[in-house]
């Protein structure tokens, strides 16, 4: 019944989004008044907001007020509105009806206009140090506000002082036409940056292309370089334009985009014969590469299911218990605070060993450290609004007992996600910050420290090698030294390292991964966006209720979108957005990476197993890197036969994953079959 009441409230709220400003319930006679009734802010700014409820006689009515607003742009909390992204938005305020009062829910829509702060600094970042007649160099400009924050996707106006010497296009690509010096100017919103370019005579008589290989697979990144030769020898800094031509494999008809060429780096998405072209001035050099299919698909076989059919399942955690057996914990979503414990030693015969109910609406996250000596359950929606975390003693992993709770330093506002190390637990606090808890004594957890990024909202945190990577929606990922020491941080005194903002504004989960074969350090950042947005498959939105045979309503899994962003974080001072994993008609959720394999929970897209070996570039989904896909369907599920994979984790040769509608699953990859000749 709790789920049904919640869903009806969402439907009513969505209906009222289309009412005019100030329209309120006529039956109840209640009306809402906002002060101010129109809000204007800059990104990073805040203002107070008061909404009062009056009855038909004009008397003030004391009822709870709820607020809804685009989370990527606005937060309303404790009477304060904070601005995160520029644009025109609305805050929707609704009042709970007093006991005994019937009618529609009173509603008020408050327009919010958010602008960017002024630009303070512009960096032009040219692609090459010198410009010659007949060559082109590009710029990768960035703009920063006075507080040091970066402007997403800035649009510049470009000019040169003498177009006969050098001209520039709308995107900052400058081409030399004759010898001389010009001033290049980039302007944006009243701010500008100038730089001088001296155009020299073209010095090369020959152009050499080097690197790459004669053959490759789709998805393999090849690096090429081009060097000019002149009367005085090699010319290293010659601006080069890269391109390719493509003859498809015989099996391919009408190919679309076939490859990506980025300043000498090349990756093919479909098999065929590619000719790499380097152009500078009047010179051209070429190299041909034969690209084969990646051919890595493996059969995936179901091993077993730990069915949960009476509620939505949330996250999972799989570990080896202190008794040497393998166990899994699963949480529940909007389901009265239940967590389930499973013996998964034999994945073909998984069975529940115990369950624990805590005071919560949702147990969104479950975690255990590598030793398995304790576990933690997150709490949201507690009856007394005192949320926090529940610590379990796992001395008997089949039948855990509650050791203690931690309910201070802001975690009472709700704990959505956690990360467990042997001695410390990182717990989110109401979406504002994460709190670090000393868990060495399970029965007496102690507050250690916390990190709260300014003007930001946090959804998840993952810790690797003493560095915390927190996913903070519109602020992307925030990197903090919590004991690594390279930046002076300790567990008692976390130190900010860097922030990688992401313009999509939906960074939901981050997984740091060191790739041994290349020495690169990647960050995998997953989006989470509800609904289909403006996509053609968006449909009518979510339902998320069991099917009702009397009303013929419900039984439809909510739509999600978003994809996985891959950042080369090898140099923390210069993070590079290099690749993505994006498939249509579903969105990413939680992920795991082990031994160059990505295990991605993709909601309606199921479990996705992806090869991430070697250097990464472009969309992995287009490169034949998908190893296997499994979509769990359960006719008896909470939503019958509806797929919604929440999280995945490899463990001892098996892949365990949770599905919101059907519980815990286990699958295994089978060896690739040899082709029949």
Q: Which residue segments constitute the domains of the chain, with CATH numbers given?
A: 2-115 (2.60.40.1080), 119-200 (2.60.40.1080), 206-292 (2.60.40.10), 300-538+556-669 (2.130.10.10)
Band of pLDDT at residue 677, cut at 50, 70 and 90? very low
Q: Is residue 257 pLDDT above 80, yes or no?
A: no
Query: How far apart (Å, rounded) are the C-alpha atoms in residues 348 and 321?
Result: 18
Q: How does residue 24 score in pLDDT terms, banded at 50, 70 and 90?
A: very low
Beta-carbon contacts of 364 under 8 Å, excluding residues fewer than 6 positions away, are: 314, 315, 331, 333, 378, 380, 415, 416, 417
pLDDT value, residue 10: 32
- pLDDT surpassing 70 at residue 12: no
- Residue partners of 167: CB distance under 8 A and separation at least 6: 160, 174, 175, 177
Using DSSP bridges, classify how beta strands 174-176 and 136-137 pair: parallel, antiparallel or unpaired. antiparallel
73-78-81 Cα angle (round to 5): 30
Reference 315, options 376, 261, 263, 360; nearest CA is 376
| CA–CA gap between residue 434 and residue 208 (Å, rounded) | 53
- Count Cβ atoms below 10 Å from residue 489 Cβ, excluding itself: 22
Coil, strand or helix at 16: helix
- Inter-residue contact 397 to 371 (CB < 8 Å): no
pLDDT of residue 654 exceeding 70: yes
Taking residue 219's Cβ as centre, other Cβ atoms within 10 Å add up to 27
Phi, psi (deg, nearest 5) at residue 159: -145, 160
Q: 14: how many CB neighbours lie within 10 A of its CB?
A: 13
The average pLDDT across 449-465 equals 93
Residue 292 CA to residue 534 CA, distance in Å, equals 36
The answer to whether residues 480 and 451 touch, using CB atoms and an 8 Å cutoff, is yes
pLDDT tens-digit readout, 340-389 = 999 999 999 999 999 999 999 999 999 999 999 999 999 999 988 889 99
At residue 132, the 3 state secondary structure works out as strand
Instruction: For residues 168 and 170, give the distance between their C-alpha atoms in angstroms, rounded to a whole number.
Output: 7
Q: Are 275 and 268 in contact (CB under 8 A)?
A: no
- Give the per-residue pLDDT at 73: 86
Half-sphere exposure in the Cβ direction for 245 (13 Å, CA): 8
In the prediction, which pLDDT does 674 show? 62
Nearest to 434 by CA among 504, 371, 367: 367
Q: Is the pLDDT of residue 187 over 90?
A: yes
The whole-number average pLDDT for the span 143-172 is 94
Q: How far is CA 402 from CA 210, 363, 374, in A?
A: 63, 15, 10
- How far apart are the C-alpha atoms of 496 and 467, rounded to whole Å? 10
Structure token pair of residue 208: 């050499």
Q: Tell me which of 537 and 118 has the higher pLDDT.
A: 118
From residue 76, alpha-carbon distances to 54, 86, 288, 432 in Å are 21, 16, 57, 12
**CA 289 to the chain's CA centroid:** 34
Question: Which distant-in-sequence residues (6+ apart) come within 8 Å of 4 by Cβ?
Answer: 545
- The C-alpha torsion from 143 through 145 and 148 to 154, rounded to 10°, is -30
Residue 11 has pLDDT above 60, yes or no: no
The tens digit of pLDDT for each residue in 287-339 reads 999 999 999 999 999 999 999 999 999 999 999 999 999 999 999 999 999 99
The pLDDT, as a whole number, for residue 475 is 85
The residue-averaged pLDDT of 183-191 equals 97
Task: Please give the Cα distance from 587 to 602 (Å, whole number).
Answer: 5
Where are the strands (E) in 334-459, listed by range?
338-343, 351-357, 366-367, 374-379, 388-393, 401-406, 418-420, 424-429, 433-438, 446-451
Global pTM value = 0.86
Q: What is the pLDDT of residue 126?
A: 93
Q: How far apart are CA 299 and CA 490, in angstroms?
A: 45
Helices assigned H by DSSP within 475-598: none
* Statement: residue 8 has pLDDT above 50: no
| pLDDT tens-place string over residues 471-521 | 998 889 999 999 999 999 999 999 999 998 876 778 999 999 999 999 999
Q: Checking phi first, is residue 414 left (phi over 0); if not, alpha (psi -120 to 50) or beta?
A: left
Mean pLDDT score across all residues of the chain: 90
Burial class (CB in 10 A: 0-12, 13-18, 19+), 177: middle
pLDDT at 466 over 90: yes
- Residue 23 has a pLDDT of 38
For residue 75, pLDDT over 90 is answered with no
Q: What's the pLDDT band for 548 if we cut at 50, 70, 90?
A: confident
Percent of the chain with pLDDT over 70: 93
Residue 269: name the closest of 258, 282, 253 by CA: 258
Cβ proximity of 495 and 483 under 8 Å: no
176-182-188-193 Cα dihedral, nearest 10 degrees = 120
- Which pLDDT band, with edges at 50, 70 and 90, does 83 fall under? very high
- The answer to whether the peptide bond before residue 36 is cis (omega within 30 degrees of 0) is yes
What's the whole-number mean pLDDT along residues 255-275?
86
pLDDT digits (tens, 9 = 90+) for 412-442: 888 999 999 999 999 999 888 999 999 999 9
Q: What is the pLDDT of residues 619-632, one digit of tens each?
A: 999 999 999 999 99
- Does 28 or 630 have the greater pLDDT score? 630
Decide the pairing of beta strands 265-268 and 180-188: unpaired
């Amino acid at each position: 019944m709790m789920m049904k009441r919640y869903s009806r409230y969402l439907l009513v709220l969505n209906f009222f989004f289309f009412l005019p400003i100030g329209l309120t319930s006529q039956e109840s006679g209640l009306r809402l008044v906002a002060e101010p009734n129109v809000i204007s802010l800059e990104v990073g700014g805040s203002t107070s907001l008061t909404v009062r409820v009056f009855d038909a006689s004009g008397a003030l009515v004391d009822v709870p007020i709820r607020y809804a607003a685009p989370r990527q742009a606005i937060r309303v909390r404790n009477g304060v509105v904070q601005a995160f992204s520029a644009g025109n938005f609305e805050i929707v305020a609704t009042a709970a009806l007093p006991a005994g009062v019937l009618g529609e829910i009173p509603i008020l829509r408050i327009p919010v206009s958010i602008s960017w702060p002024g630009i303070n600094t512009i960096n032009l970042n040219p692609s090459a140090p010198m410009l010659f007649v007949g060559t082109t160099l590009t710029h990768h400009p960035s703009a920063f506000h006075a507080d040091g924050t970066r402007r997403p996707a800035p649009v510049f106006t470009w000019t040169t002082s003498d177009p006969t010497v050098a001209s520039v296009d709308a995107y900052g690509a400058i081409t030399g036409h004759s010898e001389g010096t010009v001033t290049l100017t980039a302007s944006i919103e009243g701010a500008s940056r100038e730089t001088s370019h001296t155009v020299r005579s073209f010095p090369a008589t020959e152009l050499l292309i080097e690197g790459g290989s004669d053959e490759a697979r789709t998805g393999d990144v090849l690096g090429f370089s081009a060097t000019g030769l002149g009367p005085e020898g090699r010319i290293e800094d010659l601006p080069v334009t890269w391109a390719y031509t493509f003859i498809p494999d015989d099996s391919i008809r009408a190919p679309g985009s076939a490859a990506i060429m980025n300043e000498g780096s090349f990756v093919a998405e479909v098999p065929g014969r590619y000719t790499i072209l380097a152009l500078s001035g009047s010179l051209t050099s070429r190299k041909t590469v034969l690209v084969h299919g990646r051919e890595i698909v493996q059969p995936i076989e179901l091993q077993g299911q730990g069915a949960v059919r009476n509620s939505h399942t949330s996250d999972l955690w799989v570990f080896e218990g202190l008794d040497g057996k393998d166990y899994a914990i699963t949480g529940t979503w909007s389901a009265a605070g239940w967590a389930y414990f499973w013996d998964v030693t034999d994945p073909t015969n998984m069975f529940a060993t115990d369950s624990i109910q805590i005071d919560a609406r949702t147990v969104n996250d479950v975690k255990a450290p590598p030793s398995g000596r304790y576990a933690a359950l997150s709490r949201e929606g507690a009856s007394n609004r005192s949320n926090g975390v529940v610590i379990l003693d796992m001395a008997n992993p089949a039948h855990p007992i509650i050791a203690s709770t931690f309910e201070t330093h802001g975690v009472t506002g709700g704990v959505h996600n956690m990360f467990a190390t042997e001695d410390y637990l990182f717990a989110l606090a109401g979406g504002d910050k994460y709190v670090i808890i000393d868990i060495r004594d399970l029965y007496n957890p102690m507050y250690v420290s916390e990190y709260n990024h300014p003007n930001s909202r946090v959804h998840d945190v993952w810790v690797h090698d003493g560095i915390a990577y927190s996913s903070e929606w519109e602020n992307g990922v925030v990197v903090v030294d919590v004991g690594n020491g390279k930046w002076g941080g300790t567990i008692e005194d976390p130190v900010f390292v860097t922030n990688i903002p992401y313009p999509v504004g939906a960074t939901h989960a981050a997984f740091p991964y060191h790739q041994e074969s290349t020495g690169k350090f990647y960050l995998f950042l997953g989006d989470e966006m509800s609904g289909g947005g403006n996509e053609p498959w968006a449909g009518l939105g979510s339902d998320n209720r069991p099917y009702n045979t009397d009303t013929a309503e419900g039984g439809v899994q909510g739509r999600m979108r978003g994809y996985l962003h891959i950042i080369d974080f090898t140099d923390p001072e210069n993070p590079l957005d290099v690749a993505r994993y994006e498939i249509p008609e579903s969105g990413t959720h939680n992920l795991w990476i082990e031994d160059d394999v990505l295990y991605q929970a993709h909601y309606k897209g199921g479990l996705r197993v992806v090869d991430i070996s070697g250097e990464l570039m472009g969309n992995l989904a287009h490169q034949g890197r998908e190893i296997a896909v499994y979509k769990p369907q359960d006719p008896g599920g909470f939503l019958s036969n509806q797929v919604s994979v929440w999280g995945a984790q490899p463990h001892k040769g098996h892949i365990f994953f949770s599905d919101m509608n059907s519980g815990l699953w286990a699958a295994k990859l089978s060896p690739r079959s040899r082709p029949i000749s």
